[in-house]
Structure 1
């Protein structure tokens, strides 16, 4: 046998013909971390599973959260180190005559140095495949992983195939599985800090059935009441023998396999035994167990041994044993493999794209899927004329590199999870364009989480429901459940709050028979229920969260232009979130810390509010009338927008430049966590305040209405700011911004105190002309501040500022009252240029900003990409953690993909189409070189290492996988490339029209001269471009003929670039199957 064959081999990357991203010799490629989608279908139980490109890949998995692991959650750096020991293992002894060889596939350690090997990893959106050829032993091994979907339990399926590639028959002995499996009930804290102690609670049951059930018998929490644990993790292994499944009972005591080798590096007893068999005795308690299945097989040339494994969680031992006969079959595995693929590809079909670039087409699908994982997937329940929208699959972006996040994936049907307000809001931005049934659902949802102070809770939980009127639903339920006793039992379970998953679980566990399908039952139930927005304060208040509501509003206006006025001015369904936490007044948070003025402890819990909210039996976190004592206050969207406007206008810093970080947190750029303490402010939100002001002005100044009703407290606040703006206009330039800051802040504090417990509920009219007048004055002040932040010579904008207190009055207890400030600019950030582009008034201004940015230190010339910041070396460490990071890494001078994509999107929106396509080839991930990117070019990363980083080998390498806001930006880009800006519009008669105006480069058209995509998820649009020309620019081609094909195959032809009414409505209703558009 040749020696020293398994030397380091150069990895290669490719996108194969099946759309799989393949890495040859992946054990020697750049390390990365990734994950399965964790989507199990509407009636399935999801599992989280994380993998790395080492060993057998899977390193951590479980249900719900880190406290419900089956394999311990490990951060990425530890995962790369431990996967080859703690992950799945396959030990093989190969016998040929008298010789015997030991081999462990997919392991690049010393034990395999004598073998000539090659291996590969194949990644898709729905599964993972590994394969290895041992040319020395002529043995091939394949492993496939996928999630079980649409079933009553959560599990990872694993199929191992070992093939004799030699010309001789040989015997193989195999030991396959996990060297360590975590019993259910073992919280992450115990694994990390008390892993030895917690073993005393561990046990393994059900060995007599051959399918071990791993659990703690009782909750180990130290408390007087004992809580018994029913759930458990399980390991099922079987092979096919004589066309029947044969269950292989795994060994559960790791000592009987590894003996004295406690690090699992060598299966000591398996290696030394001539014939390794099940140990006569295993210790099944008080130690961390394993799941290793012993097998033997005589393989003829070309013959394979196929091992089927399920590793998962069951709600009870009884459910496990009742399920064994059903799930232990190759047919079941094949069915679930197909279901899993169909489920994921079914979601991705909504963004089906057929361009000349296969990488771009597949990237769009992957990005759409990843957007769902963070924002959720809307499903519509229809009952009569009523639509109920429910979001499935959303979760906080937890993975091996985001080890800091406490993710939560509900282990139930209709699974949903927790997330941050900003993240979910952004990732749902384009959802109506994929499912118009959403209508104004997200507008209502996110605007209703805004408080009267313009802030919002951080943590957005899943949606729950409560019956509107139990007595009116009872007869409906009786008609749906034939057995009246069962109906009463089900009605009782609906007495509090519930989720759709809870309801179906209750139906199944109580064996309740329905006269309709589950989907129909949920649809009817939701029409008789009201939605509860579950949220938690979390920590502090960010300055930017409100701005993403403007994106939602603009998207809604683009899709439903005829509904906008009604939604803004007439629909009284908007409420205010009532939080226990409030922003502290200046007198409490302006302090001396280590002898220096600081803004600290800016948010505090209001105990009086806590008591009031705790006593509410319904919708506790909705602001009440009568200052907290009355009914939930409902109002209009325009009222909420003006409430936002006054709060943010009164939050401009002492120089009128940035919005103050007054509540413990910065804005989108979280890594400036120290800036709020330095009285920091952000220009980015000032731009957004201008955007808000312009939108309100446009809507109230349209002449459609003359007066609107405002919450009286908001109107009084507005009137006070109107006076201050007048004073500012005539004030001395050296002092007027400071005076406005002090007085507007005082007005804001008075307003906050007034609405602390609620609002009066009274509304007063104001003339629209008066609102426009106030906004015009505000815009003058806002624009003056923006100009201060602009570099007059280079046309770029500074984004962030330290407002240093230079003079103050002491108030006692280390509290101060500032008298004077100086403003210090932080170095350049890409974020400021993004907002500046968004508000550019014309192409010329947009081009100046673009060219200035490209010439600035933000542009990484070596990569041709844009850094999130320029160098922060000149700044004090007090600005935040970004200052401590090595340049080029994390948020300091790296290529932060989300912000770079925001910038790319704004280039497209402003009509700089040539510039957009110049940048696209360098910035978009599917066009990266995989050797440099270090992972699949179909998947986003949070950041790429820039050329500012000292290690050149990492330049352009992507880190922190997939669940990034970049997915939302790409969907926005994709929509605008394919359909143009605001394709739906109202004609002079107020009728709905549709004009698709693609912005597509000629090279994106296929050889057959077409480019196609799914519009609104299911309307196939095909562009015909005989000359392969751009659809923009001086010589660009434009639509001139349109053919619509209806669901019944009837065709409508328009010699025009516009689809008129009523056909535009039919397209939006998705009653048109196909649109062919001819370009010339």
Structure 2
């Protein structure tokens, strides 16, 4: 149940699917499976770091993730392992069809899902001996197999909030195994990164002019390049991955891991991937540092906000979560003397550029409330920081469309924490501004930014994709943001007040 869409058996209207097989597991959406597993280790300590590894492996190099998490796949990667399974089954079988071991060997040589394996055995007339239960056979098989988390892009953009449950998985693990914090962050097996058939477009290809009545306004209606607009470099990369003889996957999803130029999967320890996740979300803050932008074309869980990404919207729940992650990482890194944090060369260059931009911004005093509220446009210093950070992020994303260099740059934990502390300063400044812009005393949840000034992108640099607005633009100034009216926040506050008054 907890692996399926929303974990709810009753919601069959919500594209609900169940594998018609033994050991049925789904599929489910990344966010739903993720949030429903946040107490697994408390309920069953033997789960260990499984959930952390699964979802952090599915985190992409750009900080986003695929939508669908299907039933995981298994693969026995050595002939010796296959032979051991076949010999044990043949031993238990006794008098067995002479061709059954060969047929079983052929079946086990390919990646499989558990339920699919039993269905395929039945179709090939491969039967277990009467006294062997399916579970006993399954135990023999999985002892020799490697389990692979698999995923499927399955949409036309990336949700802003799916990642926010990742730290909860780590928190749950550490609540049971507090002595293993250093091990899981630095010394557990390094993790791959999923690669999707989709890339987030740079701003010069996301922002475009559209007619609204008699006016023309800037909108963000095309956020990602996928399908027929997918860059050739990414398509070539995926075709290479999918054609590998050891690729694990099928039409339901696969373990498509980002490789380097030599075809080796790029692996990083958990400390690196968590740091990258927090830093990339910082790099996606809106021009005032308040909310995380919906640059992937999707909002968070609240489907009523589906139009907000097109308005250049941002959300504060994700920025609060990003601050939580960055704060945890900074404090934890400062405890890890003698350790090292490896980043890919491409990411390291981006981080250095962001650090330089923060140094320039923080060297000057921040505007106070009266100064900020008197401004009709985003202050120049804020825009300059936003622009520089996004430029660094876009250069980085451009470098990971295809295979990566494979080069690593090692940072000390203290150096990473120093940069994160500067980010924390910016986060807190933004959160103070959230309250300044609210006239209710309650933090606003959603904002959108109207464009005050822009210039057109040269024709030869226009996005080579179909669009409702073919004229792309570069934004040079934003108006101060619009705060979406509060609804559930006020409703909850009212109900709380009524309840509290009645109790008193």
With the shorter chain as reference, the TM-score category is 0.7 to 0.9
Counterpart pick for 1:726 among 350, 356, 359: 359
1:632 and 2:265 matched: yes
Tell me how far 1:639 sits from its aligned partner: 0.7
Q: Does residue 800 of structure 1 match 2:446? A: yes
Deviation at 1:649, TM superposition (A): 1.3
1:599 aligns with 2:216: no
More helix by share: 2
* Structure 1 residue 527, shift from structure 2 partner: 2.2
Distance 1:396 1:861 in 2: 26
Q: Which SS does the other structure have where 1:809 is aligned?
A: strand
Deviation per residue, 1:200-227 (Å, 9 max, x gap): xxxxxxxxxxxxxxxxxxxxxxxxxxxx
- In the alignment, is residue 773 of structure 1 matched against residue 418 of structure 2? yes
- Equivalent residue in structure 1 for 2:48, among 422, 425, 439: 439
Secondary structure of residue in 2 paired with 1:806: strand
Alignment partner for residue 477 of structure 2, among 797, 820, 836? Answer: 820
The question of whether the paired residues in 2 share the 8 Å contact of 1:481 and 1:513 is answered with no
Deviation (angstroms), 1:613: 1.7
> What SS is found at the alignment partner of 2:117?
helix
Aligned to 2:237: 612
Spell out, residue by residue over 1:667-695, the C-alpha distance to the aligned partner (whole angstroms, 9 max, x if none): 12221011100000111111111101111
- State the structure with bigger RCO (CA 8 A, min sep 6), 1 or 2: 2
Distance 2:29 2:456 in 1: 38
Distance (Å, rounded) in 2 between the aligned partners of 1:399 and 1:752: 39
Q: 1:512 to 1:857 in 2, by over 3 A?
A: closer
Residue 755 of structure 1 pairs with residue 400 of structure 2:
yes
Does the 8 Å CA contact 1:650/1:748 hold for their aligned counterparts?
yes
The match for 1:742 is 387
Partner of 1:647: 280
Residues 646 and 721, structure 1, Cα contact 8 Å, conserved in 2? no
Deviates more, 1:527-536 or 1:565-574: 527-536
Contact map agreement 1:678 1:803 (CA 8 A) in 2: yes
Pick closer, same or farther for the CA change 1:717–1:399 going to 2, 3 Å. Answer: same
- What's 1:521 paired with? 137
Distance 1:426 1:498 in 2: 26
Does 2:195 match 1:538? Answer: no
Secondary structure of the residue aligned to 2:350 is: helix
Q: Is the Cα–Cα contact under 8 Å of residues 806 and 821 in structure 1 kept in the other structure?
A: yes
- Which ranges of structure 2 fall in alignment gaps of 5 or more residues? 249-253, 367-378, 460-469
CA shift for structure 1 position 573: 3.3
How far does residue 706 in structure 1 lie from its aligned partner after superposition? 4.2
1:1013 alignment partner in structure 2: none
State the distance in 2 between where 1:800 and 1:579 align: 28
Once the two structures are superposed, the pairs formed by residues 30-429 of structure 1 within 5 Å of their partners are: 373=1, 375-376=2-3, 394-395=4-5, 403=13, 405-429=14-38
The 1-side partners of 2:336 and 2:128 are apart by 57
The 3-state SS of whatever aligns with 2:71 is strand
CA distance in 1, matches of 2:136, 2:74: 17
- The CA distance in 1 between the partners of 2:332 and 2:487, in whole Å, is 32
The C-alpha deviation readout for 1:314-349, integer Å capped at 9, x for no partner, is: xxxxxxxxxxxxxxxxxxxxxxxxxxxxxxxxxxxx
Find the counterpart in structure 2 of residue 785 from structure 1: 430
State the alpha-carbon separation in 1 of the partners of residues 288 and 275 from structure 2: 23
Secondary structure of 2:190 counterpart? coil
Query: Which of 127, 130, 139 in structure 2 is aligned with 1:512?
Result: 127
Of 667, 670, 690, the residue aligned with 2:323 is 690
| Inter-partner Cα distance in structure 2 for 1:526 and 1:707 | 34
> How far apart are the structure 2 equivalents of 1:399 and 1:571?
35
- Change over 3 Å in CA distance of 1:678–1:574 after alignment to 2: same
Describe the SS at the equivalent of 2:20: coil
Give the Cα separation in 1 of the matches to 2:313 and 2:51: 31
Which structure 1 segments of 5+ residues have no match? 1-372, 377-393, 831-852, 866-914, 920-1080
Whole-angstrom distance in 1 between the partners of 2:126 and 2:343: 52
Which of the residues 560, 564, 570 maps onto 2:177? Answer: 560
TM superposition shift of 1:489? 1.2
**TM-score, normalization: structure 2?**
0.84
- For 1:479 and 1:399, locate their aligned partners in 2 and report how far apart those are by CA, in whole Å: 38
Query: What per-residue deviation string (whole Å, max 9, x for no partner) do you get for residues 846-867 of structure 1?
Result: xxxxxxx7xx4543449968xx
Q: Within 5 Å, which residues of 2 pair with 1:840-859?
A: 856-859=490-493
Cα distance in 2 between the residues matched to 1:821 and 1:554: 38
Partner of 2:104: 490
Q: What's the CA shift for 1:477? A: 1.7
Please give the alpha-carbon distance, in whole angstroms, between the structure 2 residues aligned to 1:797 and 1:554: 26
Cα separation, 2, equivalents of 1:625 and 1:395:
30
Bigger Rg, structure 1 or 2: 1
Q: Any idea what the Cα deviations from partners look like across 1:925-958, whole Å, max 9, x if unmatched?
A: xxxxxxxxxxxxxxxxxxxxxxxxxxxxxxxxxx
CA drift at 1:418: 1.3
Q: Say which SS state the counterpart of residue 596 (structure 1) adopts.
A: strand
* CA–CA separation in structure 2 for the residues paired with 1:579 and 1:744: 24
Mapped contact 2:7–2:33 kept (Cα < 8 A): no
- For residues 458-493 of structure 1, the C-alpha deviation after alignment (integer angstroms, 9 at most, x for no partner) is 111111212111343213421222435312111112
Q: Give 3-state SS (helix, strand or coil) of 2:397's partner.
A: helix
**1:228-284 deviations in Å (ceiling 9; x for gaps):** xxxxxxxxxxxxxxxxxxxxxxxxxxxxxxxxxxxxxxxxxxxxxxxxxxxxxxxxx
Alpha-carbon deviation of 1:661?
A: 0.5
| Stretch moving more, 775-784 or 642-651 | 642-651
Higher strand share: 1
For residues 527 and 475 of structure 1, what CA distance do their matches in structure 2 show?
Answer: 10
Q: How many residues align?
A: 453
Structure 1 position 804, deviation (Å): 0.8
